[in-house]
Amino acid sequence: MKSKVYFAPVAEGSLKARQAALVRVLDALRPAMQYKQDEFVPVKLTIGDEACVHHMSPDLVKLVVSVARARGARPFLFDTSVIYHGQRQNAVDHLNLAFAKGFHAAAVGAPFIVADGLLGQDGREYEINAAHIKTIRVPSFVGVLENLVVLSHATGHIFSGYAGAIKNVAMGMSCRPTKQVQHSSLKPSIAEEKCTACGACIRSCPAEAIAFSRKQRASIDPGKCIGCGECLCACRFEAVLVNWDEEMDVFCSRMVEAAHGILSRFKKKVFITFAYEITKDCDCISTKDDVLISPDIGILASQDPLALDQATADLMKDTSGFLKEHGVYRGMFRYAQEVGLGSLEYELEKI
């Protein structure tokens, strides 16, 4: 059976045009966003790291919050701590960054919380017994609250090729130990003949897994490596190597399993994807100078995260060749359908 995906095209990049498109999307989602009086509604989003400028606007988030509040609910915004360097490694810096970017109650009408505690460890564990992941640790409200709203910014991704709703849930709703499990198959190595000993990878590594060898070339200790990919992003000489054929498939499969395990604990779910300013890198590492890999598309929404991701990827016109080169997401989508995360078949309703 085909899943319904709503699509509001946005022909121009103004905030006013995007707000009008989101209003149409939220109106179409009205039957799926009926809440009980005073019940909590978690709204998942990412604010991007300090240098990111392409993340969703607080003005758009405010519209989503206002819908939940108008129906008597008590919405709150949330994200979790990351495993790489930046301003979101702990709750204090993360909250300060969220405030600086305008994601706070005075601006959007709902508080922003870091849902996995001070250092990304706080949460509860669930057994999922999937093929690659047996347990997940997630924020403690998972499995307690009935509703979930997921706001995603469509981007490219250095490992999966495409990042949208599935990645936003799998990584963004996991505590740090489960993030590391998802990345654990990614064990990069160094091509010594390309290494210039600039030290960028050493400075970027949050696990202190990289050091200079006797040959004065960078060397990665696989026992310490957590697979976060920071070194791959830091190196400008293509000296960091990853097995794109095998390791990427395992990484994507683990994301699917984590997302499925998390979403199965919510009764009512709504997913909204903002498909504009689509950068080569995800909001975790993108900057104002990042390459845009597709023209702006608009705003899409569904109750099926897989159908939403598939529809968004189908609408993207890859102007840089990035998706063609990094097509691992196609296998990820097929696996997501196999495990019951959603449907690859969808009905696109333009609104």
Task: Quote the pLDDT of residue 244.
Answer: 65
Q: Tell me: do 47 and 164 sit in the same domain.
A: yes
End position of a domain, from candidates 205, 224, 241: 241
pLDDT in tens, 231-290: 887 898 989 987 766 688 999 999 999 999 999 999 999 999 999 999 999 998 899 999
- Could you list the residue range(s) of the whole structural domain that residue 204 is in? 187-241
Helix axes 165-172, 247-263, angle to 10 degrees: 80
Task: Quote the pLDDT of residue 85.
Answer: 80
Q: How many structural domains does the chain have?
A: 2
Q: Tell me: do 268 and 222 sit in the same domain.
A: no
The pLDDT confidence band at residue 20, using thresholds 50, 70 and 90, is: very high
pLDDT in tens, 316-351: 998 889 998 899 999 999 999 999 999 999 999 999
pLDDT in tens, 218-232: 999 999 998 887 788
Q: Tell me: do 225 and 264 sit in the same domain.
A: no
- Alpha-carbon distance of 58 to 249, in angstroms, equals 34
Task: Quote the pLDDT of residue 156.
Answer: 95
- Alpha-carbon distance of 278 to 120, in angstroms, equals 28
Q: Tell me: do 67 and 213 sit in the same domain.
A: no
The answer to whether the CB of 32 falls within 8 A of the CB of 270 is yes
DSSP string computed for 41-106: EEEE-----TT---SPPHHHHHHHHHHHHHTT-EEEEEE---SSSSTTSSHHHHHHHHHHTT-SHH
- Alpha-carbon distance of 90 to 87, in angstroms, equals 8
In 229-305, beta strands by DSSP E: 240-241, 268-275, 278-279, 292-294, 298-302
Per-residue tokens: 272: 């909204």
> Taking residues 130-140, what's their average pLDDT?
96
**CATH number of the domain encompassing residue 61:** 3.40.50.11440
